[in-house]
Structure 1
Amino acid sequence: MTTDKEFDLIVFGATGFTGRLVAEYLHLSGASGARWAIAGRSLDKLAKVRDALHLPPSVALLKADASDAAVLKAMLARTRCVITTVGPYQLHGEPLATACAAGGTDYVDLCGEPLWMARMMTKLTPLAQASGARIVFSCGFDSVPFDLGVVYLQAEAKARFGAPLPEVRGRVARIKGAASGGTLASMMETVAAVKREPALAKVMANPFALTPGFKGPRQPDDRGADFDDWADAWAGPFMMATINTKNVHRSNALRGHPWGEGFVYSEKLLTGRPGQGDKGRRKARALTCFTRLQNLALGLAPTRALLRRFVLTQPGDGPDKAAREAGRYELWFTGQSAGGETLRAIVKGDRDPGYGSTCKMISETALCLLQDVDRDATPGGVWTPGSAMGLALVRRLQDRAGLTFEIAA
C-alpha cells in the first residue's frame, strides 16, 4: 500500500467507549497492515487508552477537537481515512465530515440519524465528488448487516433466477444485547429536532428520504403487528427500521436501481418462532404498544432530560467484555421471484450488536474502503456501505469480523 500520507487510518474519538473498542480491535486484529493513529481532545486520556490497550509506539496520539477547523484540516492532511465514533452526529459530526469531503479524505461513521444524513448529503456530495473523498455513513449495526443482507440476497437471486427479487422482507429473528447509549442519544436528539421543526416528521416517515429526486412505490407499514406468512411468524416494529430502510433504498438508487425502481423493502422484529401462533401474536402486539409509548415518552422534554442524566452511558462506560461476547444476532432476508420461488439469506453476528459487533464492522468497513475498493468503481461521493463496497465487504466481514452470510436450505 503506497501513499504519501503518514497514516492510512485515524480513529477519531478513541477515548470514548466505542472508539476505544475500535482501537482495541484494530490492534488485536493487526488492522490488515494499515498504519493507524488515535485522536481525541485530550492527549492525557489518549495516553491512558494507549497504555491500557498496550498499543505499540507506532500508534500515534493526535490531539484534535471537532470544533477546531484548523486542527481538523491539519490532522486530515496526514491520513487517507477517518473512523469517527463521536456522536450524536447532528451535534458533533458536521465539521469533521465537511473537512473530509472538502479535503479528499475518506470517512466512515456510525450514524443512524436520517435527518442529519439527508442534510449532509446535499452539502457534502458536490464537495466529495470534487475532492475524491468517499463519505460512508451508517457503518455499524445500523445499517451494515441489513444493507449487505439485501445486497447478498439480490446477488444470489440474480445468479439463480436471472433477475432480482421485487420485494425483500428483513426480519430480526434473534437479538441479544442492549442498544448502545449512542443510539439512544441519537434518537433523543432526532425527536428534539422534530419537536423544534414538525415538518421534519415527514422526512422521518419517508422511506426514500435519502434518495433525493426519486420516490419509489408505496412501502409496507413497519409500525404495527402482523403475521408474516413468508416467515410463518408474528412480527412487530424494530427500532432500527427507520434508518435501515432508507439506507437500503439509497443503496439501490446509488447503483442505478439494479433491483428495480419498484423495489419494496420492509423490516420488522419477529416475536416468535415459526408456527408459534398466539404467543407470537401477543408479543407482537405488546411490542407495538411499547414502541408507541416509548415514542410518546421520548417526545417529552422532561423524559429526555431524565434519560440524559440517569440512563445514557458516559464516555468510558458500557457493557463489559463478557456481556459483549455473550451477545448475538440473526437476521432473515426473504424474497420471492417473479415465478413465485422463495429465497432466504441468513446473516448472523457473533457479538452483541451495539458494541462488540459494531466495533468490528466499522473497522473492517474502513479497511475495505481503503484496500478492496477501486476508486473507479466507487469514486468520491456520499455512499452507503452496500453501494460503496457491496460483496467485497460481505467477504471481508465473513473472513475477519465474525459475521456469516448464507442462503437457507
Structure 2
Amino acid sequence: MSREFDIVVFGATGFVGELTARYLADAAPSGTRVALAGRSEVKLTAVRRRLGKRAATWPLIVADADRPSTLDAMVARTQVVCTTVGPYLRYGEALVTAAASAGTDYVDLTGEVPFVRYSIDKVGDTAASTGARIVHACGFDSVPSDLGAYGLYRRAEADGAGTLGTTTMVVISMRGAASGGTVDSIRVIAEQAHDASTRSILLNPQALSSGPGELARGDRRAEPSDAALVRAASVDPSLRGTLAPFFMSSFNTRIVRRSNALLDYGPAFRYGEAMSVGAVPIVSTIASAVVAAGLGIGLGAMSFKPTRKLLDRVLPKPGEGPSEKARDKGHFTVQTFTTTSSGRRYRSEMVAQGDPGYKATAVMLGESALALALDRDRLPDRAGVLTPAVAMGDALTDRLTAAGFAISVREL
C-alpha cells in the first residue's frame, strides 16, 4: 500500500490495452489509483482523453520494453503491473524480470508456452522471495479453462466427493475474432519452433508443471491429445456428435496442469479441451475433421516463411481489432466436465457476452488486476509464477460474476 499506484496498465496505447484501460475507467471502484504507461506520451495523452472523465487525472508513464531502466522505475511505483505488450517472447522478458525483482504483482495475456516456461525458470525463485505474484494467461487464454477446472475442484472438495479424474473443457459456443496480438504470438512461436529446445517445450504436455530449472518430462500419451477428434459422449453422456480440437488447447491445457501441480486436483487428474461443432454425428465428424486439418495446415503455413508472408497480408496485425459493434455481438459459453474418484459427475460453466479475445478479455484482465490490487486479504498466501486459479481463485470468480459473467458448478 506504500506504492504510488494500485495498477499500471502497460501498453495502454495498443488496441487491447486501451480496451482494458477503458474497462478500469468504467468499473474500478472509486479511489483506485491507476496510471497509463507506454512508449509515447503523445499517444498516452490521446488514450486518456478518449477514456473520459474518470480517467482525466490518471498519471502517464513513459516506459519502453527496449529500455529496462524505464521498466524498473515503473514497476517500483505500483502494486500491480498489467501488461498487454506482446508477443511476450519478444517484449516481455525485461518486464517480468523487473516485476519479480521489485516484488510487484504482474498480470498479462500471454498464450506462449515458452514464455511462461522462461518466466518460471528465470524469475520464479526471485518472485517467491520478494512476494511477487507473476500471473500469466489472464484473458480468454486461459481464465475460462483455469477457473472451470478450479471450480470443479472446489465443489468436489466441499461435497466430499473425492478428487478429480479425467476433466474436459468443451467450447459450446463462441463468436469473436482472433486478436492481432494472438496472431502475432503464433507467428513468433512458429518461428521459434524450428529450435529443438523450444520444440521440446511446445510438445511437452507438462511443460509448465514443474518448478524453476526442473522441466518435467511429460509423456504425451498420458494426457488427452490437443489435436484429436473426440466422441462427445465419452466426455459426458449429455453430449452428442464429435468434438473438434480447440485451437488454444495446447496452451490452456498447460496452464490448467500447472494449477493441478500447485493445488493437487488428484492423482488421476487428466485434462483436455475440445470444441462443439454440432450434435449430428456425421455432420459433426466431418466438421471436426475439417477443423483439425485447418489447424494443422494453418500452423504449418505459419512456420514456412513464404506462406507466412502471404498470411500476413490477410491476418489481423497487432493493434488492430473489430468495431465496437462487432465486439458487443461476441460471446462465449464453455462447460467443463469431470468424474471424481467417488464416481460423481460434475459440470462447471462460464458464459459471457462480448468478443472473447477483446471485450471479454479486457474484463478478465481488468478484474485480475483489481483482484491483486484490492483483494489482497482474500488471496492465497502464495508468491512466484502462478496461474489465475492459484493466485486469485475464488476472489477472481466472485469479481467476474459481479462483472456479469455467469459462472456455475452443478452435479450431474
What is the TM-score with the length of structure 1 in the denominator?
0.93
Distance 1:117 1:289 in 2: 28
User: Are 1:208 and 2:206 counterparts?
Assistant: yes
In structure 2, which of residues 21, 25, 35 is the aligned counterpart of residue 37 of structure 1? 35
Contact 1:394 1:405 in 2 (8 A): no
In structure 1, which of residues 212, 233, 247 is the aligned counterpart of residue 255 of structure 2? 247
2:308: which partner in 1?
Answer: 304
Structure 1 letter corresponding to 2:253? T
Unpaired stretches in structure 1, ≥5 consecutive residues: none
Structure 1 letter corresponding to 2:353? D
Runs of 4+ residues deviating >4 angstroms? 213-217
Structure 2 letter corresponding to 1:159? A
Structure 2 letter corresponding to 1:393? L
User: Are 1:262 and 2:268 counterparts?
Assistant: yes
In structure 1, which of residues 338, 351, 369 is the aligned counterpart of residue 354 of structure 2? 351
- Where 1:71 maps in the other structure, the secondary structure is helix
1:188: which partner in 2?
Answer: 187
Change (3 A) 1:261 1:374: farther
Identity of paired residues, percent? 38
Change (3 A) 1:207 1:105: same
1:287: which partner in 2?
Answer: 291
Shift of 1:406: 3.9
Deviations 1:254-297 (A, max 9, x none): 22x1x123311111111113xx2111111111111111111221
Change (3 A) 1:32 1:388: farther
In structure 2, which of residues 226, 230, 233 is the aligned counterpart of residue 226 of structure 1? 230
Shift of 1:220: 1.5
1:53: which partner in 2?
Answer: 51
Question: Following superposition of structure 1 onto structure 2, how do residues 20-99 of structure 1 map, counting pairs within 5 Å?
Answer: 20-31=18-29, 33-55=31-53, 56-99=55-98
Contact 2:327 2:354 in 1 (8 A): yes
Shift of 1:31: 4.4
Distance 1:75 1:160 in 2: 45
Contact 1:32 1:367 in 2 (8 A): no
Unpaired stretches in structure 2, ≥5 consecutive residues: none
Distance 1:337 1:131 in 2: 37
Change (3 A) 1:248 1:17: same
Distance 1:31 1:40 in 2: 23
Structure 2 letter corresponding to 1:277? P
Contact 1:88 1:182 in 2 (8 A): yes
2:127: which partner in 1?
Answer: 128
Deviations 1:375-403 (A, max 9, x none): 98333311100111112211111112534
Q: Give the root-mean-square deviation of aligned CA atoms.
A: 1.8
User: Are 1:277 and 2:278 counterparts?
Assistant: no
Shift of 1:365: 0.5
- Where 1:141 maps in the other structure, the secondary structure is coil
Task: State how many pairs are aligned.
Answer: 401
2:324: which partner in 1?
Answer: 321
User: Are 1:18 and 2:16 counterparts?
Assistant: yes
Structure 1 letter corresponding to 2:24? L
Distance 2:269 2:113 in 1: 20
Shift of 1:320: 1.0
User: Are 1:381 and 2:384 counterparts?
Assistant: yes
Contact 2:161 2:341 in 1 (8 A): no
- Where 2:147 maps in the other structure, the secondary structure is helix
User: Are 1:371 and 2:412 counterparts?
Assistant: no
Contact 1:26 1:363 in 2 (8 A): yes
Distance 1:186 1:216 in 2: 24
Structure 1 letter corresponding to 2:345? T
What is the TM-score with the length of structure 2 in the denominator?
0.93
Distance 1:203 1:117 in 2: 11
Deviations 1:317-371 (A, max 9, x none): 3111111111111111111133433211111111110001000100101111122
Distance 1:382 1:152 in 2: 21
- Where 2:162 maps in the other structure, the secondary structure is coil
Distance 1:373 1:232 in 2: 43
- Where 2:98 maps in the other structure, the secondary structure is helix
- Where 1:220 maps in the other structure, the secondary structure is coil
- Where 1:166 maps in the other structure, the secondary structure is strand
Contact 1:88 1:186 in 2 (8 A): yes
Distance 1:408 1:400 in 2: 25
Distance 2:406 2:190 in 1: 32
- Where 1:284 maps in the other structure, the secondary structure is helix
Shift of 1:209: 0.2
